Amino acid sequence: MLQPGLMMDLPLMLSSIIEHAAAQYGDIEVVARETHGPLFRYTYADCAVRARKLANALAGLGLEPGQAVGSIAWNNHRHLEAYYAVSGSGMVMHTCNPRLHPQQLIYIINHAEDRVVLFDATFAPLVKGIAAHCPQVRHWVCLSEAVHMPAIEGVANVVAYEDLIAPHSAQFAWPQFDERSAAALCYTSGTTGNPKGAMYSHRAIVLNAITICSANALGMSTKQTILPVVPMFHINAWCIPYAAPIAGTKLVLPGPKLDGASLYELMESERVTVSAGVPTIWQGMIAHVEQHGLQFSTMRVTATGGSAMPQSLIAKFSDNYNVEVRHGWGMTETTAVATMGSLEGKHTDWTPAQKHALIARQGKSVFGVEIKVVDENGATLPRDGASQGELMVRGHWIMRQYYKAETSPLVDGWFPTGDIATIDAEGVMQIRDRTKDVIKTGGEWISSIDLESAAVAHPAVAMAAVIGVKHPKWDERPLLFVVRKPGQTVEKEEILAFLSERVAKWWVPDDVVFLDALPVGGTGKVQKGDLRKQYGGVFS
């Protein structure tokens, strides 16, 4: 017969994270780029004080546990305070992606029933456009001092954050409740149909945050300084705003300035050692450092995910700049990181090329998450690095049902991701494509990700995307889109010749379209749907 464990049963609460940081790492800094430009600087102890003041202010507005507070905001210190004040009070922190179409923003704010929306001044025009369509929102709070708050004509109940919290006490008794209660809510981008909400629990976030502190993940400690470029408005900035205070890691928040030059400058001035961002951000940053002949003085690890990081970019970071890339995979439905690729002790003697090829894959599931790939009948495929099928995931921070949905998407307790992947004998997973992007040609599959990675390895190519275009004989054939680097004149023949040396002959795209830019969506990913709409006709 089982024996009961004799440990205390304290719930895992987000409020305990900021109180832990205030008490143990009270002097560790948080540095944030204000929306109006300058850098703001304070400590975890100050952050906790202001989070408590905001918690009192929200209670003063009549909000109650279970109600939602929206945010349309950059990565900055007020957003961080809201992360703790809202969830810590038992309310739901609903982070909205400002790059969603306004109709979708209206949809998610109404669907989540946000009572208050916090927004950065950048998004004042957006708020002006949507406020009339969000009748349940009682207060719009501009994350600034009154002096930096833009006038928003026609919207009632707009208040500056600093005015809202100023009169309130810095004492707040965080409620203790079931750790399975909702803490935060994030909607998928809704590329097909309306966005769907993933509702994260305190337990899921705390467990994920502890996990990503570990050495094989982001390796966070008091010796590190972390700059999350990944947005706090999407997938909880990979839970870094929770993990950093757990580990006593200095946190640097870039606000609205996400271009290569601004990020580089911030990394240097704040002596950042670890960062996290999508590949498009790293492409911009490398372009900047290459152009100006710069080096990173302190940056040693950068985590990437959200879309596949091309091997050529991994090689540049590692070989030219001595920055180790960690390649993670996750999705809105997985709270944050679910798998992470990093170099292990046994790889020390590998050649650089071997190491880069390993990191170009998305790594092993972190403890707390399990993965498998299945065929179209749901049968588990072997872990042989070759059998590809749909990636299924389960674990402590994987969603089981969308918010307000009647049914669960789970299949035998596993979440179907819509990604096509392989897993090798050591457990290393590789995303080959999304089910909706994979190119089916003559009964075989072509991985658009592999083709794109091969194309961006060409020195004149800045960005590349591949879609499947209908073909009368082969069903579909790949069409490649290329954005040239500034000043480059590379033409179709050269690109195709370059690719034919790197991929199977039948993978070589049927045509190349040169564009000035690729359509990039709210989370920094190429919007292949837009490309398909415009170019997805028929090859003759």
- The residue ranges that bind ligand ADP (CB under 6 A) are 188-189, 191, 305-308, 327, 329, 331-332, 362, 417-419, 431, 434, 523, 525
The span from the CA of 173 to the CA of 92, in Å, is 18
Residue 464 CB, shortest distance to ligand ADP, in Å, is 14
The span from the CA of 479 to the CA of 441, in Å, is 12
- Which residue, 119 or 329, has its beta carbon nearer to ligand ADP? 329
Residue 49 CB, shortest distance to ligand ADP, in Å, is 33
Catalytic, out of 436, 440, 470, 533: 440
Respond yes or no: is residue 440 known to be catalytic.
yes
Nearest to 135 by CA among 152, 157, 150, 165: 157
Residue 498 CB, shortest distance to ligand ADP, in Å, is 22
Report residue 29: phi and psi, to 5°: -85, 150
Which helix (H) or strand (E) element contains residue 99? none
Which helix (H) or strand (E) element contains residue 539? none
CA angle 83, 86, 89 (to 5 degrees): 130
CA atoms within 13 A on the CB side of 94: 26
- DSSP-derived 3-state class of residue 83: helix
Residue 303 CB, shortest distance to ligand ADP, in Å, is 10
- DSSP-derived 3-state class of residue 263: helix
- Which residue, 266 or 336, has its beta carbon nearer to ligand ADP? 336
Catalytic, out of 35, 188, 302, 441: 188
CA angle 321, 326, 332 (to 5 degrees): 135
- Which residue, 82 or 336, has its beta carbon nearer to ligand ADP? 336
- Which residue, 160 or 303, has its beta carbon nearer to ligand ADP? 303
Residue 433 CB, shortest distance to ligand ADP, in Å, is 8
Output the six-digit token pair for 254: 């870039």
- Which residue, 121 or 421, has its beta carbon nearer to ligand ADP? 421
Q: Where are the alpha helices (DSSP H) in 342-397?
A: 352-359
The span from the CA of 93 to the CA of 198, in Å, is 12
- Which residue, 120 or 437, has its beta carbon nearer to ligand ADP? 437
What's the first-to-final CA gap in the chain, in angstroms?
Answer: 71
Residue 175 CB, shortest distance to ligand ADP, in Å, is 30
Residue 307 CB, shortest distance to ligand ADP, in Å, is 5
User: Phi-psi category of 118—alpha, beta or left, where left has phi over 0 and alpha has psi -120 to 50?
Assistant: beta
- Sign of the dihedral defined by the CA atoms of residues 279, 285, 287, 293, in that order: negative
Which helix (H) or strand (E) element contains residue 85? helix 77-88
Pairing mode, strands 461-471 and 475-484: antiparallel
Residue 353 CB, shortest distance to ligand ADP, in Å, is 20
Query: What does each C-alpha distance from 351 to 202, 319, 326, 361, 475 come to in angstroms?
Result: 42, 11, 17, 16, 40
Catalytic, out of 113, 128, 445, 474: 445
Kindly give the interhelix angle for 202-213 and 240-247, rounded to the nearest 10 degrees.
60
- Which residue, 188 or 208, has its beta carbon nearer to ligand ADP? 188
Residue 331 CB, shortest distance to ligand ADP, in Å, is 3
**Residues 335, 236: contact at Cβ < 8 Å?**
yes
In the sheet that holds 158-160, the strands lie side by side as 158-160, 139-142, 114-119, 68-72, 92-95, 182-187, 197-201
- Which residue, 80 or 336, has its beta carbon nearer to ligand ADP? 336
- Which residue, 223 or 436, has its beta carbon nearer to ligand ADP? 436
Respond yes or no: is residue 188 known to be catalytic.
yes
Find where tokens 């992606």 sit.
97
**Residues 127, 150: contact at Cβ < 8 Å?**
no
The span from the CA of 284 to the CA of 174, in Å, is 42
**Residues 256, 120: contact at Cβ < 8 Å?**
yes
Pairing mode, strands 429-434 and 415-423: antiparallel
- Which residue, 28 or 313, has its beta carbon nearer to ligand ADP? 313
- DSSP-derived 3-state class of residue 467: strand
Respond yes or no: is residue 445 known to be catalytic.
yes
Nearest to 110 by CA among 126, 131, 129, 93: 131
Residue 440 CB, shortest distance to ligand ADP, in Å, is 17
Active site residues: 188, 333, 440, 445
